[in-house]
Amino acid sequence: MKANGVVDTVFQTLLIVPARSGSKGVADKNIKILVGKPLLQWTTDAIARAGLANVLPLLSTDSPAYGELGLKLGLTVPFLRPADCAGDTATALQVIQHALQWFCGEHGYLPQQTMWLQPTSPFRSPTIIHQAIAILKSESADAVIGCKEIHRNLTTLFRCDEGFLSPLDKIKSTQAARQQSQPLLTPNGAMYLCKTDYLLEHKSFYPPKTVPLVMNAIQSLDIDTEEDWAIAEAYIKQGLV
């Protein structure tokens, strides 16, 4: 409670937007202009339109320039990442643990759940963000993960062993027809939501009770290379976003 008797907001969700500088695939991609606005803004706009309550959207960055932009876009920017969370080898878990440590020190408690929204997934919709939180509240789940479908059978997925293809499933015969297999799901990197206590105890976004939130190919686009950037521009210019 504040000194004037006004009760502080109790944040149920810490929403972390990670934006490290020093990208190798696309230089300064998090602040690069994607058809009229910085890449980071595509995510902050989605957060604003999601209409979330009791959520603290926080930018975790190592760059003062990124931090200034984040503030302008409505994110909380209480710190710059320390060196051990800012290099190429820093993991998402390290960044999350650092942010949660700050949150607990600032507010005196931990949020019930933690969401991870990478700016490199600009086309995840506000509905996806809102829906993920609703699912975690309404179902007996411990996490909700954004996923995309892979229309392949394990018999058509291979490793390269000593220069030759080796199927992941060596028992069944190869089935190439799409209608013969149930789609596989893989995380698309666009949205991770997990109960904070599980995340900290097990150091994983994947509890046994994890609900997939399936997103289409456009929503699942993850910008990592110049080719990905060109695809994103094409989606926008064709009116697909």
pLDDT at 45 over 60: yes
The verdict on residue 110 lying in a domain is yes
For 106, list phi and psi in degrees, rounded to 5. Answer: -80, -40
Directed axis angle between helix 64-72 and helix 39-50, to 10°?
A: 40
**CB under 8 Å to 134, separation ≥6 — which residues?**
none
* Domain count for the chain: 1
Q: Which two tokens stand for residue 19?
A: 């934006």
Q: What is the mean pLDDT of residues 31-49?
A: 97
The verdict on residue 174 lying in a domain is no
Instruction: Identify the pLDDT of residue 170.
Output: 76
CATH of the domain at 36: 3.90.550.10
Fill in the amino acid letter for 204.
S
> What is the per-residue pLDDT across 127-163, written as a single tens digit (0 to 9) for each?
999 999 999 988 789 999 999 998 877 778 888 988 8
Instruction: Identify the pLDDT of residue 166.
Output: 85
The verdict on residue 155 lying in a domain is no
Terminal CA-CA length for the chain: 43
Between 124 and 162, name the one with better pLDDT: 124
Q: Which two tokens stand for residue 151?
A: 């229309």
In angstroms, what CA-CA distances link 120 with 18, 221, 225, 240?
10, 8, 10, 17
Q: What is the mean pLDDT of residues 94-117?
A: 97
Q: Answer for the pair 186, 224: CB distance below 8 angstroms, yes or no.
A: no
CA distance 157 to 154: 5
Instruction: Identify the pLDDT of residue 88.
Output: 80
Angle at 229 between CA 24 and CA 15, to 5 degrees: 75
The verdict on residue 175 lying in a domain is no
Q: What is the mean pLDDT of residues 124-129?
A: 97
Tell me if residue 148 falls in helix, strand or coil.
strand
The verdict on residue 157 lying in a domain is no
For 210, list phi and psi in degrees, rounded to 5. Answer: -115, 125
For 209, list phi and psi in degrees, rounded to 5. Answer: -100, 75
Q: Answer for the pair 15, 115: CB distance below 8 angstroms, yes or no.
A: yes
Instruction: Identify the pLDDT of residue 5.
Output: 42
Name the helix (H) or strand (E) containing 130.
Answer: helix 126-138
The verdict on residue 2 lying in a domain is no
Average pLDDT, the chain: 90
Q: Which two tokens stand for residue 3?
A: 């000194």
DSSP 72-118: HTT-B------GGGTSTT--HHHHHHHHHHHHHHHHSS--SEEEE--
The verdict on residue 78 lying in a domain is yes
Share of the chain above pLDDT 70, in %: 93
Instruction: Identify the pLDDT of residue 174.
Output: 64
Q: Answer for the pair 208, 125: CB distance below 8 angstroms, yes or no.
A: no
> What is the per-residue pLDDT across 169-189, written as a single tens digit (0 to 9) for each?
777 666 655 555 677 899 999
Q: What is the mean pLDDT of residues 109-114?
A: 97
Instruction: Identify the pLDDT of residue 226.
Output: 96
Domain extent at residue 118: 13-146+186-237
Comparing 43-52, 57-66, 178-187, which segment has the lowest mean pLDDT?
178-187
pLDDT at 76 over 50: yes
The verdict on residue 38 lying in a domain is yes
Q: Answer for the pair 194, 129: CB distance below 8 angstroms, yes or no.
A: no
Name the helix (H) or strand (E) containing 42.
Answer: helix 39-50
